[in-house]
Chains A and B, each alone.
Chain A
Amino acid sequence: MPTDSQTRAKIVVNNLTKRFGDLTVLDGINFTIKEGELLAIVGPTGCGKTTFLNCISKLMPATEGDILIDGEEANPKKHNISYVFQEPTCLPWRTVRENVAYGMEIKGVPREERIERADRIMELVGLKSCADLYPNQVSASMMQRIAVSRAFAVNPDLLLMDEPYGQLDVKLRFYLEDELVKIWQKLNATVLFVTHNVEEAVYIAERVLILSNKPTHIKAEIPINLPRPRDTISPEFVELRKQVTELIRWW
């Protein structure tokens, strides 16, 4: 879904700073995400990506700065924030369907609607056939799909993803990335995708932010205006990938 300049800013991050004692991890980060945008953030290893996400999701209080959703201070109890973690976060005692519905359950979505929405999303990601299985009966990639489905199911104001496909092999990763782009287009969600994989970022995002080393700030912003589905060996793609790689290289 191409963004046009009229789309309003959904998420505004102002001067986000996080210090642990004397150690400044995040140093005045400013950026916005437009409604329905898929924004990727890449950075060198150990640049505080997880701290960054934990602050944005309000799991961790920021030292300074605000995170605004629709102009209001972000609050997990009020806003729909979803977070897909690196490691699978399925509840082993719930079936796949119940796992997908878990976020909605906390949000107080009525039962009928929960089931209907869960079923629709499972259809979209190909989880329908294992809706009644338990997580220990499905593969690792399925588990990550469950987490992604659960995240989309709450109609998130902001969907955070922390290298969700980091532990999968290349082929499966591309497959799941395509799937992610498909759901994102269909449901028009606002997504913040954090990864250290440059190719992944350029492949899925509409815009890539590059983080610096600690103390972390935003070093550059690169819009990716490539048509979808993207071709990872086209000269334009390779050029953009090189550009991003050049910006995060520490060697």
Chain B
Amino acid sequence: MAYKEVVVKKPLLLIILPYASLILFFGLWQAVVQFGIIPNTLLASPSQVLTTFIDKLTNANPDGATMGAHAWTSIQEAFLGYLLSLVIGIPLGLAMGWFNIAEGLFRPIFELIRPIPPIAWIPLTVFWFGIGLAGKVFIIWIAGIVPCVINSYVGVRMTSPVLIQMARTYGASSWQIFTQLCIPSALPMVFGALQLALAYCWTNLVAAELLAADSGLGFLITMGGRLGRPDIIVLGMICVGISGAIIGFVIDQVEKKLLAGIRR
């Protein structure tokens, strides 16, 4: 019994609407700058940004590194921080959701640390790690771990109580219930955490790079500000936006593949 995917034909309007909205957005933006409604010193037009982008691909001036170098630095920092927050946050959240000892031990500390904005850690981070890679990874880690813990915790908590009862009557141990029922039940929430944590990490990247740095997309933005170059600022912002969207899309696709059986 194979299942055929039902193909629903979308109306043409719905297909073109996302493109139309993007074109309209960039068109308006270009027009606003081109006709001087907003002076060029305050905002760069999309075409200027594109020119700067092409130039920056090979030119390290005026901020000291090429586009590729900036992106590479940022990706390294963001991914190290992201991976660390997943590796520590997800198991911690899962354990907190099922084992009372883990919850009693970590919940109070977590609740206390959670409301502190990641950038508030910057001064301490400088003391601890200096201004190298480690400090920035730490800030990003702090930012990413929060959604990992919360989502995994809630995911485990949402495990259907009837499923747990069912397993109990068969004589399942607490560990069996945790690994065989709670973790699979929590997976959709955990995948949600992958998305959320990425967003948190990526947005805090800029903040982390405010910390003295010599390359990175966040650094590019701050340098643009210091040099009075709106085109560089906007270029940095757009790069952060586009690369974040791409990574989000990739995670979404992986999630769809892996959770095929769970999604209704």
Contacts of A193 in B (CB 8 A): none
Please tell me if the beta carbons of A87 and B261 are within 8 angstroms of each other in the complex: no
Please tell me if the beta carbons of A92 and B170 are within 8 angstroms of each other in the complex: no
Contacts of B181 in A (CB 8 A): 91
Stretch at the interface among A75-83, A115-123, A198-206, A243-251: A75-83
Q: Knowing A91-B184, A133-B1, say if A106 contacts B165 (CB, 8 Å).
A: no
Task: Name the distance in Å between A190's Cβ and chain B's nearest Cβ.
Answer: 15
Q: Knowing A87-B162, A137-B3, say if A106 contacts B167 (CB, 8 Å).
A: yes
Contacts of A91 in B (CB 8 A): 163, 181, 184
The CA-CA distance from A59 to B163 in the complex, in Å, is 12
Please tell me if the beta carbons of B166 and A89 are within 8 angstroms of each other in the complex: yes
Please tell me if the beta carbons of B169 and A59 are within 8 angstroms of each other in the complex: yes
- Candidates A83, A93, A95, A133; contact of B169 at CB < 8 Å: A83
The CA-CA distance from A85 to B168 in the complex, in Å, is 13
Q: Knowing A91-B163, A91-B181, A137-B3, say if A82 contacts B169 (CB, 8 Å).
A: yes
Contacts of A234 in B (CB 8 A): none
Please tell me if the beta carbons of A130 and B261 are within 8 angstroms of each other in the complex: no
Q: Could you give, for residues 145-173 of chain A, a 1 whenever the CB lies within 8 Å of some chain B CB and a 0 otherwise? A: 00100000010000010000000000000
Within 8 Å of chain B (Cβ to Cβ): is A230? no
Q: How many A residues face the partner with a CB closer than 8 A?
A: 31
Q: Knowing A82-B170, A85-B162, say if A93 contacts B1 (CB, 8 Å).
A: no
Q: Could you give, for residues 20-50 of chain A, a 1 whenever the CB lies within 8 Å of some chain B CB and a 0 otherwise? A: 0000000000000000000000000000000
Please tell me if the beta carbons of A81 and B169 are within 8 angstroms of each other in the complex: yes
Q: Knowing A81-B170, A93-B184, A107-B170, say if A136 contacts B162 (CB, 8 Å).
A: no
Task: Name the distance in Å between B108's Cβ and chain A's nearest Cβ.
Answer: 31
- Candidates B163, B169, B264; contact of A57 at CB < 8 Å: B169
Most chain A CB inside 10 Å of its own CB: which residue of B3, B165, B166, B172: B166
Contacts of B1 in A (CB 8 A): 129-130, 133, 137
Task: Name the distance in Å between B95's Cβ and chain A's nearest Cβ.
Answer: 20
Contacts of B260 in A (CB 8 A): 134
Contacts of B59 in A (CB 8 A): none
The CA-CA distance from A58 to B146 in the complex, in Å, is 38
Please tell me if the beta carbons of A154 and B262 are within 8 angstroms of each other in the complex: no
The CA-CA distance from A89 to B264 in the complex, in Å, is 15
Q: Kindly report which residue of chain B lies nearest to residue A105, judged by CB atoms.
A: B180
Q: Knowing A91-B181, A134-B261, say if A107 contacts B171 (CB, 8 Å).
A: yes
Task: Name the distance in Å between B58's Cβ and chain A's nearest Cβ.
Answer: 49
Contacts of B162 in A (CB 8 A): 85, 87, 89
The CA-CA distance from A102 to B261 in the complex, in Å, is 16
Q: Could you give, for residues 145-178 of chain B, a 1 whenever the CB lies within 8 Å of some chain A CB and a 0 otherwise? A: 0000000000000001011011111111000100
The CA-CA distance from A106 to B1 in the complex, in Å, is 29
Please tell me if the beta carbons of B171 and A136 are within 8 angstroms of each other in the complex: no
- Candidates A59, A87, A93; contact of B262 at CB < 8 Å: A93
Task: Name the distance in Å between B224's Cβ and chain A's nearest Cβ.
Answer: 48
- Candidates B3, B165, B261; contact of A92 at CB < 8 Å: B261
Task: Name the distance in Å between B40's Cβ and chain A's nearest Cβ.
Answer: 56
Contacts of A92 in B (CB 8 A): 261-262, 264
Contacts of B163 in A (CB 8 A): 89, 91
Q: Could you give, for residues 50-79 of chain A, a 1 whenever the CB lies within 8 Å of some chain B CB and a 0 otherwise? A: 000000011100000000000000011110
Contacts of A83 in B (CB 8 A): 165-166, 169
Q: Knowing A89-B162, A129-B1, say if A76 contacts B261 (CB, 8 Å).
A: no
The CA-CA distance from A93 to B181 in the complex, in Å, is 10
Please tell me if the beta carbons of A106 and B261 are within 8 angstroms of each other in the complex: no
Please tell me if the beta carbons of B165 and A76 are within 8 angstroms of each other in the complex: no
Q: Could you give, for residues 1-13 of chain B, a 1 whenever the CB lies within 8 Å of some chain A CB and a 0 otherwise? A: 1010000000000
Q: Kindly report which residue of chain A lies nearest to residue B172, judged by CB atoms.
A: A106
Chain B residues proximal to chain A, CB less than 8 Å = 1, 3, 160, 162-163, 165-172, 176, 181, 184, 187, 260-264
A–B pairs, 7, beta carbons within 8 Å? A75-B171, A89-B160, A91-B181, A91-B184, A93-B262, A106-B170, A107-B171
Would you list the 3 A-B pairs with minimal beta carbon distance, nearest first? A83-B169, A77-B171, A76-B171
Having A89-B163, A95-B261, A134-B261, one finds 12 other A-B pairs with CB under 8 Å, namely A76-B168, A81-B169, A89-B162, A91-B163, A91-B181, A92-B264, A93-B184, A93-B187, A94-B261, A103-B170, A107-B170, A134-B260
Chain A residues proximal to chain B, CB less than 8 Å = 57-59, 75-78, 81-83, 85, 87, 89, 91-95, 102-103, 106-107, 129-130, 133-134, 136-137, 147, 154, 160
